[in-house]
Amino acid sequence: MTDKSTLTLGEKTVDFAVRHGTIGPDVIDIGALYKNTGAFTYDPGFTSTASCESKITYIDGDIGMLLHRGYPIEQLAEQGDFLETCYLLLYGELPTAAQKKDFDNRVTRHTMVHEQMTKFFTGFRRDAHPMAVMVGTVGAMAAFYHDSTDIADPHQRMVASMRLIAKMPTIAAMTYKYHVGQPFVYPKNDLDYAANFLRMCFAVPCEEYQVNPVLARAMDRIFILHADHEQNASTSTVRLAGSSGANPFACIAAGIACLWGPAHGGANEACLNMLEEIGTPDRIPEYIAKAKDKNDPFRLMGFGHRVYKNYDPRAKIMQKTMYEVLEATGHADDPLMQVALELEKHALSDDYFIEKKLYPNVDFYSGITLRALGFPTTMFTVLFALARTVGWIAQWKEMVEDPQQRIGRPRQLYTGAEKRDYVDISGR
């Protein structure tokens, strides 16, 4: 195991330290590269670049392994609940019974939002995309919770973290209710996190709402599957925003904005729209051909991943959850499920997908499941953002508490015009 790497650039030969993680690839510390060689590295998609040191989540893309603080996602999803995963991500260890009870209690008692926030929603059009409302509303939390925006104060960091984890379901439910023109439903402290969220989304004043425990358990498991995922695009956005000292509400709003993209968290919405466009299994070959056609921008949504070059372990659990939810909601014969299963079978046996190691990712089966739970397609990425908030917060907290932390400020390869003098408009 080597501890240094040597680079020769022109006349210069420079050594760089090699650092070893607990598991996973080594890193070459190139912090002094520019100082010692006058050159930058160039890696626009960060395919070979580690942006930070972290102890939170580890992915082995070759074998399809996902660990949160060392615990496999399969075990957390099957044996624990979402708030236990939240505690683990934030504090690094699974909680004792007493710690779990206290954490659940603290989250439960922060689920209400400032009543004035209800007025904030009325500024949006009812047909606004729910993610546009989420970006605006979560960013606006800094205008309501001034007493937890000083990131230098550990107590305020903790309060902001708990507020975000606790209030995201309430804000997401309010976003949905506003979208469908129904009155907001307040949280109830005698319900657990996922059940409370389902009730805030689907209860109406005219009748009692009974939470289906099978659906609540499925919702909770879906939250676990989306909780954190190393330095993905939205988490990197949160870290970069936080590196300037921006308040946590602004950083999480930045993460929501980035997650919205169809290449990232927006893929669950795009994937269901794609399955509906395909419509029937007999049209699958046509779409597989489109996905393989270099001249066609179409991609199979819910397929492929920057890190996973094997099956996304979350997709397997999501597929199992899909079956449970479809059964429990009487949609076991959902035709889109047949299209998805057939599409997966076709893709996984096609040389193009095999060669490029493209497998279903977390977004492939989530759309069918969320639609069966009663959510419109436009709410799918909102649910992803709700669950990922704890991952963003845990990563933001790790960065803020890292003594090595500095503002993120990448450099560039400049290929623009050389220095030239201004020409008056009369001379152009």
- The nearer residue to ligand SDX, 130 or 265, going by C-beta atoms, is 265
DSSP letter for each residue of 190-259: TS-HHHHHHHHHH-BTTB-----HHHHHHHHHHHHHTS--SS-HHHHHHHHHHHTT--HHHHHHHHHHHH
- The nearer residue to ligand SDX, 157 or 229, going by C-beta atoms, is 229
Interface residue with ligand SDX among 199, 229, 331, 371 (CB under 6 A) is: 229
Q: Could you give the residue ranges of the DSSP H alpha helices within 94-153?
A: 97-108, 117-121, 130-140
- The nearer residue to ligand SDX, 108 or 232, going by C-beta atoms, is 232
362 contributes a contact to ligand SDX by CB under 6 A: yes
Closest CA to 140 of 169, 166, 162, 119: 119
284 contributes a contact to ligand SDX by CB under 6 A: no
Q: Which stretch binds ligand SDX (CB under 6 A): 154-162, 246-254, 333-341, 359-367?
A: 359-367
Report how far residue 84's alpha carbon sits from residue 82's, in angstroms, rounded to the nearest whole number. 5
85 contributes a contact to ligand SDX by CB under 6 A: no
Catalytic, 3? Answer no
Query: Per residue, what are the HEC states of 37-77?
Result: HCCCCCCCCCCCCCCCCCCCEEEECCCCEEEECCEEHHHHH
* Cβ at position 339, least distance to ligand SDX in Å: 16
Report how far residue 61's alpha carbon sits from residue 166's, in angstroms, rounded to the nearest whole number. 31
Report how far residue 339's alpha carbon sits from residue 285's, in angstroms, rounded to the nearest whole number. 11
Interface residue with ligand SDX among 100, 110, 264, 346 (CB under 6 A) is: 264
168 contributes a contact to ligand SDX by CB under 6 A: no
- The nearer residue to ligand SDX, 192 or 363, going by C-beta atoms, is 363
Report how far residue 384's alpha carbon sits from residue 249's, in angstroms, rounded to the nearest whole number. 17
Report how far residue 249's alpha carbon sits from residue 160's, in angstroms, rounded to the nearest whole number. 8
Q: Which two tokens stand for residue 250?
A: 């602004």
Catalytic, 305? Answer yes
269 contributes a contact to ligand SDX by CB under 6 A: no
301 contributes a contact to ligand SDX by CB under 6 A: yes
304 contributes a contact to ligand SDX by CB under 6 A: yes
258 contributes a contact to ligand SDX by CB under 6 A: no
- The nearer residue to ligand SDX, 188 or 306, going by C-beta atoms, is 306
Interface residue with ligand SDX among 82, 145, 193, 303 (CB under 6 A) is: 303
Instruction: List b or e across 4-34, with b for residues whose CB sees 16 or more CB atoms inside 10 angstroms.
Output: eeeeeeeeeebebeeeeeeeeeebbebeebe
Q: Which stretch binds ligand SDX (CB under 6 A): 157-165, 174-182, 264-272, 401-409?
A: 264-272
302 contributes a contact to ligand SDX by CB under 6 A: yes
Interface residue with ligand SDX among 363, 369, 372, 400 (CB under 6 A) is: 363
Residue 57 has φ and ψ, to the nearest 5°, of -135, 145
300 contributes a contact to ligand SDX by CB under 6 A: yes
196 contributes a contact to ligand SDX by CB under 6 A: no
Distance of CA 186 to the CA centre of its chain: 26
Report how far residue 166's alpha carbon sits from residue 110's, in angstroms, rounded to the nearest whole number. 5
188 contributes a contact to ligand SDX by CB under 6 A: no
Interface residue with ligand SDX among 100, 188, 306, 346 (CB under 6 A) is: 306
Inter-axis angle of helices 213-225 and 380-400, to 10 degrees? 50
* Cβ at position 5, least distance to ligand SDX in Å: 25
Report how far residue 374's alpha carbon sits from residue 138's, in angstroms, rounded to the nearest whole number. 24
Interface residue with ligand SDX among 100, 114, 299, 309 (CB under 6 A) is: 299
232 contributes a contact to ligand SDX by CB under 6 A: yes
Q: Which two tokens stand for residue 262?
A: 């169809």
Interface positions, 36-55, toward ligand SDX (CB under 6 A):
45
Name the catalytic one among 129, 305, 331, 334: 305
Three-state SS at 160: helix
Q: How many residues bind ligand SDX (CB under 6 A)?
A: 22
Nearest-CB residue for ligand SDX: 304
Q: Which stretch binds ligand SDX (CB under 6 A): 64-72, 250-258, 301-309, 321-329?
A: 301-309
191: left (phi over 0), alpha (psi -120 to 50) or beta: beta
What residues are labeled active site?
305, 363
Q: What residues line the site for ligand SDX (CB under 6 A)?
A: 45, 229, 232, 263-265, 267, 291, 299-307, 356, 358, 361-363
